Structure 1
Amino acid sequence: MKEINASEISKNVIQMIKKDWMLVGAGEDKFNMMTASWGMMGHLWNKDVMNVYVRPQRYTYEFMENNDTFSCSFFDESYRDALKLCGSKSGRDINKAEACGFTTRFIEHAPVFDQAACTIICRKIAVYDIDPSQFTDSSVDKNNYPLKDYHRVYTGEIIKVLVKD
């Protein structure tokens, strides 16, 4: 893998998150990851940042809470079944990295998977909860939060972007 600047990511970021999906991972001695298709990347507070959204009932939530860094890993289409598994099974019950055949290493104290085409490593700089009283479009709450299990938002400063050579 080689390191690039965040501004050198050549793929459409909306496509990467929405269609290709990503694995959001945190932890080092013990870690977990989950598939996500909600997120944002941009420039905020004079930093290149990534926002990820994690519901409190997800096992990954405790790893996001207890670690200062996290990773967002993007894979090519041949890993779609692995991403489906990581989005439907809990790391409380299985070792998802092992089940998917991922080779895991840790960079900046965040999990990195050798099979990923692109990995973005972030340092947490802000954490906040979705507040339904702030929705100006009531359909957002109605259509996305029937269980009232609002996401926690993690804003991370992008500290490293790794891509396959």
Structure 2
Amino acid sequence: MKLQSVDVKTMSPEVFRVFGTQNALLTAGDRDRCNTMTIGWCQLGCVWNLPTCTVYVRPERYTYQFMESHDYFTVSVLPADRKKDMAFCGTKSGRDVDKVKECGLTLRYGTGDAPFFEEAEWVLVCRKLFVQDLEASCVKDERVFKSYTPAMGGWHRAYIGEVVEAYQKR
């Protein structure tokens, strides 16, 4: 099977199955430099009558600076048999190691030179629409605080991106 471009409106990724089991790689940057990190949180849907993907990144993460400096980001879901690569990308910093090289991933580029991976089962290429920091003062359910201890780092920044391209193995 080869990763092929598909119509965003007809693609139906199994987001509830993937996140929490396979997870995904969030990647930002361009042809010169990029970084990727494993994410376990993602939301897909429709905001402002546009197909959107929302991801969350803590300011301490190396990927944060790429998310801030580029207009596009991608979400790549790798097959379940790449679990070791997902773990590696979630525990190592791109400041210290070239995760793409170490995992043997093949870079491809979408709109805006947004980097993603040929090995993915499906990919979303997103253009940033909205950015906002999550805040403790806005929490309405105490269970949320379990995700925010001093050892974990700061509060996430939410990035809502319009899904401008989608790819899926066929």
Class of the TM-score when normalised by the shorter of the 2 chains? over 0.9
Give the structure 2 partner of residue 130 of structure 1: 134
Using structure 1 for the length normalisation, give the TM-score.
0.95
Deviation at 1:111, TM superposition (A): 0.8
Secondary structure in 1 aligned to 2:89? helix
Deviation at 1:40, TM superposition (A): 0.4
Deviation at 1:152, TM superposition (A): 0.3
Residue 152 of structure 2 is aligned to residue 163 of structure 1: no
- CA distance in structure 2 between the aligned counterparts of 1:5 and 1:153, rounded to whole angstroms: 25
Could you list the structure 1 runs, at least 4 aligned residues long, displaced by more than 3 angstroms after superposition. Answer: none
- CA distance in structure 2 between the aligned counterparts of 1:67 and 1:162, rounded to whole angstroms: 21
Give the structure 2 partner of residue 13 of structure 1: 15
- CA distance in structure 2 between the aligned counterparts of 1:155 and 1:116, rounded to whole angstroms: 21
Deviation at 1:38, TM superposition (A): 0.6
Using structure 2 for the length normalisation, give the TM-score.
0.92
Residue 155 of structure 2 is aligned to residue 120 of structure 1: no
Deviation at 1:106, TM superposition (A): 1.6
Query: How many residue pairs end up in the alignment?
Result: 164
Q: Deviations over 1:40-77 (max 9, x none)?
A: 00011010000000011000000000000000000111
- CA distance in structure 2 between the aligned counterparts of 1:106 and 1:9, rounded to whole angstroms: 19
Give the structure 1 partner of residue 75 of structure 2: 72
The correspondence of residues 14-93 of structure 1 with structure 2, limited to 5 A, is 14-28=16-30, 29-93=32-96
Deviation at 1:130, TM superposition (A): 0.3
Residue 5 of structure 2 is aligned to residue 3 of structure 1: yes
Query: Unaligned 5+ residue runs, structure 1?
Result: none
- CA distance in structure 2 between the aligned counterparts of 1:18 and 1:7, rounded to whole angstroms: 24
Deviation at 1:10, TM superposition (A): 3.8
Give the structure 2 partner of residue 107 of structure 1: 110
RMSD (Å) for aligned C-alpha atoms = 1.2
The 8 Å contact of residues 58 and 157 in structure 2, kept in 1 or not, is answered as: yes
